[in-house]
């Protein structure tokens, strides 16, 4: 919005750039990712521009999340999908590529080789009950 480079997902939402649409609701749109990591990999976006989680309205987010749920179930029904991963990258440090909030709905099938659990286990950091208690207390404090 305003100055800055044009937003590709805004253009897709407005139909200015073609996309492989799956379903839309008044505030949200689901379409196929053109760089899928598995068959049926979809994206769900708010139609109104929001760069990331800091900008999206609760109303838009609710509709995007619900459309992502619908898309996940649809994939299971028609594309031999037995599980789903939903991913949101929010912010540059989270390696968000397109600066228009999106949920990746990634289809999973038995025996696929995405191996997320393997990667996750390599990234687990050491902690302690005391440290977890302190962190939770900070998070519970009123801002």
Residue from 47, 100, 102, 104 that binds Zn ion (CB under 5 A)?
100
Q: x/- string (CB under 5 A) for Zn ion, residues 69-98? A: ------------------------------
Closest to Zn ion by CB, 7 vs 32, is 7
Please say which residue, 32 or 98, places its beta carbon nearer to Zn ion. 98
Alpha helices in 15-143 (DSSP H): 58-78, 116-123, 129-140
Active-site hit among 49, 100, 102, 104: 102
Check: CB of residue 117 under 8 Å from CB of residue 86: no
**DSSP secondary structure, 42-67, as one string:** EEEEESS--SSTTT--HHHHHHHHHH
Of the ranges 15-23, 28-36, 44-52, 75-83, which one interacts with Zn ion (CB under 5 A)?
44-52
Tokens 């208690």 sit at which residue?
Answer: 133
Beta carbon nearer to Zn ion, 60 or 84: 60
CA gap 8, 37 in Å, rounded: 20
User: What's the closest the beta carbon of residue 47 comes to Zn ion, in angstroms?
Assistant: 9
Among 27, 49, 102, 104, binds Zn ion (CB under 5 A): 49
- Binding-site residue total for Zn ion (CB under 5 A)? 5
Contact call for residue 10 and Zn ion (CB under 5 A): yes
Is residue 102 part of the annotated active site? The answer reads: yes
Cα separation, 65 vs 19, in Å, equals 20
- State the Rg of the chain over Cα: 17
| Six-digit token string for 136 | 């939770």
Q: List residues binding Zn ion (CB under 5 A).
A: 7, 9-10, 49, 100
Q: Which residues are part of the catalytic machinery?
A: 102
């Amino acid at each position: 919005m305003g100055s800055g480079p044009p937003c590709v997902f805004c253009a897709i939402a407005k139909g200015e750039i073609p996309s492989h649409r799956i379903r839309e609701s008044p505030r949200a749109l689901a379409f196929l990712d053109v760089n899928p990591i598995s068959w049926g990999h979809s994206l769900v976006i708010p139609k109104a521009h929001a760069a990331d989680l800091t900008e999206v309205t609760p109303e838009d987010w609710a509709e995007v999340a619900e459309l992502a749920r619908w898309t996940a179930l649809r994939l299971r029904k028609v594309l031999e999908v037995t599980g789903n991963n939903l991913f949101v990258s929010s912010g540059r440090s989270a390696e968000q590529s397109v600066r228009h909030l999106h949920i990746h709905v990634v289809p999973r099938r038995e025996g696929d080789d995405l191996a997320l659990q393997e990667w996750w286990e390599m990234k687990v950091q050491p902690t302690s009950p005391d440290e977890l208690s302190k962190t939770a207390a900070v998070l519970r404090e009123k801002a």
